Amino acid sequence: MNDQGGITVQRALELPGLRGGLPEVVAGADRLHRTVRWVHAGEVPNIASLLKGGELLLTTGLGLGTRPAEQRAFVHRLAERGIAALVVELGPRFTRLPATIVEAARSAGLPLVQLHREVAFVSVTEEVHTEIVNGHYTLLRQAEDVHRRCTEAVLGGGGVPQVLGILAGFAANPVFLETAEGQLLYAAGGGEGPADPLQVWEGMRGQRAAREAGPPAGAVLVDVPGGGTAAGAVRARLVLLAVSGTLLPVHRMAAERAAGILAVVLMQARQEEELAARGRGDFLTDLAEGRVSADDAPGQARVLGFRPGDGPLLPVVMKLGSDVLPSGDWSLLARAVLEELSAVGVPVLVGVRPVESRVPVLLGLRSESERTAVADRVAAALRAGVARAGLERPSGGHPPVVVVGVAGGWAAASAGLRHAAETASAARGLPERPWYDARRLDIDLLLWRLSTLGEGAALAAFVDRAIGPLRDHDRTSRPALLPTLETYLAHAGRKAETARELHLNRQTLYNRLARIGELLGTDLDDPQTVLALSLALRARRHAP
């Protein structure tokens, strides 16, 4: 038996069946280490077309042909198929193998054996196949032993490093766990190779970049399942590199079994991450709802690892585009957002609230003056985390909304988190921005509150009275006039700026504004009218 689960040609010749035939190796004696994958017996000239490679071919020579050209072609076709060896039983067809066949085998590098006694091919086949099956079983036991040791390590409190260490020791080569995108998570050395497996990893990355391809030849890659809700999703990938020695099929078998254990370990870690993120989200929600006092909050925050210093606190809330996410997505989101926020450069406390489909964040600033700069970085980090988790824009939903509240002490943080959370709900449907300032959306928040308090019908009636004629016009006529009114009010009645944004000449704009006033029966220069129309345009999103 060899390390690939088969037996060598040499071992096959030592078994009783072939040994009884007095085998003589007449070519390829230096290649008897080849692996025998299977045994085949046949006498037809086109036997090569029936083979797949790795076979030990038994024959009496009836299909070898009578002419030298036929014999050379027969041998070369077998060599091209990659068979392990050709065994010819001497007898009625050949009393000794012709020199043509021997020379052809030598030139092709094909082990050639002649048997001086008759043997039962069926007995040889049975013996070799039994040996091969036993060899595979031995390799399976070795792989199962690795699985058992990894399982014991995990049950004993170990984690990914311990599992990788066992696998690296068995393979006598370095082992790495990377993300599905190719980022290194863990590494373990093995064998007599370089002391630092990270140096090996960096070298492999350089080779990947140079070739724009996968790992070097001879490496073993095994997917670790469980990266998402889709069937067949990959959470991570095991990479074994052939640094100290050749990697064999038994090492792949062991890696596949270790991958199953790693999937469970990573799943457990993901659940722990999600529980921790939910715990932080619960604390921030309790703080927002007044269930944690400003005096008690700093101590509880320290327990959660948040030490902001003496500067102001900045509340931020991200509202996701979908109100319902699978449980696994929240764990992926928690990790991705936390990793992205770690680069912002200020103390951060981030949690998740699946019930409200939002991510509350509290940051420690050095001074109020850096609020805008930090808000820019935090919003970018939150959106990057959402994108990494694959939740950037759910089907049929809104994009994520990021709202930045008012900076202040712990008491202000309580009110600021609540204000930002409500504003994030009210901002859904507004034109997309990297982030919204909660202080500038109070009117939208007021309208949203009215709609959530059962006043949706009243809002709808108000909208219909204020801009109903324009909506009716735009359903049947062109040009649409509501966009003109919105742009005009957004520029506070400045006609030149409105015309530039709409790409209209002034007279055309004047005509449209006159038509709007005519349809609404009102004066667009009247402040009360302008206020009512502005509120009606904003209230459209909240009216049923």
Is residue 311 very low, low, confident or very high in pLDDT (cuts 50, 70, 90)?
very high
Residues 22 and 101 in one domain: yes
For the ranges 182-196, 213-227, 235-249, 353-367, which has the lowest average pLDDT?
A: 182-196
Question: 211 pLDDT exceeds 50?
Answer: no
Q: Enumerate residues 6+ apart whose C-beta is below 8 A from 510.
A: 495
Q: Which long-range contacts (CB under 8 A, 24 or more apart) does 488-493 make?
A: 488/513, 488/524, 489/530, 489/533, 489/534, 489/537, 493/524, 493/525, 493/530
In a domain, 344, yes or no: yes
Tokens coding 528? 């009360």
Residues 222 and 285 in one domain: no
Q: What percent of the chain has pLDDT over 90?
A: 37
Q: Where are the beta strands (DSSP E) in 473-515?
A: none
Helix (H) or strand (E) holding 360: strand 358-364
CA distances in angstroms from 263 to 163, 193, 235, 258, listed in the order given: 11, 28, 8, 9
Residues 312 and 405 in one domain: yes
In a domain, 140, yes or no: no
What pLDDT score was predicted for residue 325? 61
Using a 10 angstrom Cβ sphere, with 0-12 exposed, 13-18 middle and 19 or more buried, the burial of residue 157 is exposed
Q: How far is CA 505 from the centre of its chain?
A: 52
Is residue 456 very low, low, confident or very high in pLDDT (cuts 50, 70, 90)?
confident
Backbone angles phi, psi at 217, to 5 degrees: -60, 145
Is residue 289 very low, low, confident or very high in pLDDT (cuts 50, 70, 90)?
very high
For the segment 266-276, the average pLDDT, to the nearest whole number, is 73
Is residue 5 very low, low, confident or very high in pLDDT (cuts 50, 70, 90)?
low
At 524 the three-state DSSP class reads coil
Residues 325 and 352 in one domain: yes
HSE at residue 536, side-chain half, CA atoms within 13 A, is: 23
Residues 425 and 465 in one domain: no
Is the separation of the CB atoms in 78 and 46 below 8 Å?
Answer: no
**Of 475 and 246, the one with more pLDDT:** 475
In a domain, 144, yes or no: no
In a domain, 507, yes or no: yes
CB count, 10 Å around CB of 66? 8
Q: What's the domain count of the chain? A: 4
Residues 221 and 358 in one domain: no
In a domain, 61, yes or no: yes
For the ranges 85-89, 268-272, 467-471, which has the lowest average pLDDT?
A: 268-272
Residues 229 and 283 in one domain: no
Bridge partners (DSSP) of residue 41 are: 58
| Closest of 219, 193, 191, 192 to residue 205, by C-alpha | 219
Residues 107 and 25 in one domain: yes
Mean pLDDT of the residues in the chain: 85
| CA atoms of 458 and 437, how far apart (whole Å) | 28
For the segment 145-168, the average pLDDT, to the nearest whole number, is 88
Is residue 206 very low, low, confident or very high in pLDDT (cuts 50, 70, 90)?
low
For the segment 79-93, the average pLDDT, to the nearest whole number, is 92
Instruction: Report which residue type is found at 437.
Output: D
Residues 126 and 24 in one domain: yes
Residues 203 and 95 in one domain: no
Residues 414 and 296 in one domain: yes
| CA atoms of 353 and 424, how far apart (whole Å) | 13
CATH number for the domain spanning 374: value is 3.30.70
Last residue of a domain, one of 231, 247, 263: 247
| CA atoms of 95 and 316, how far apart (whole Å) | 91
Residues 277 and 389 in one domain: yes
In a domain, 295, yes or no: yes
Three-state SS sequence of 130-187: HHHHHHHHHHHHHHHHHHHHHHHHHHCCCCHHHHHHHHHHHHCCCEEEEECCCCEEEE
| CA atoms of 264 and 97, how far apart (whole Å) | 59
Using a 10 angstrom Cβ sphere, with 0-12 exposed, 13-18 middle and 19 or more buried, the burial of residue 197 is buried
Domain span at residue 535 reads 446-539
What pLDDT score was predicted for residue 231? 45
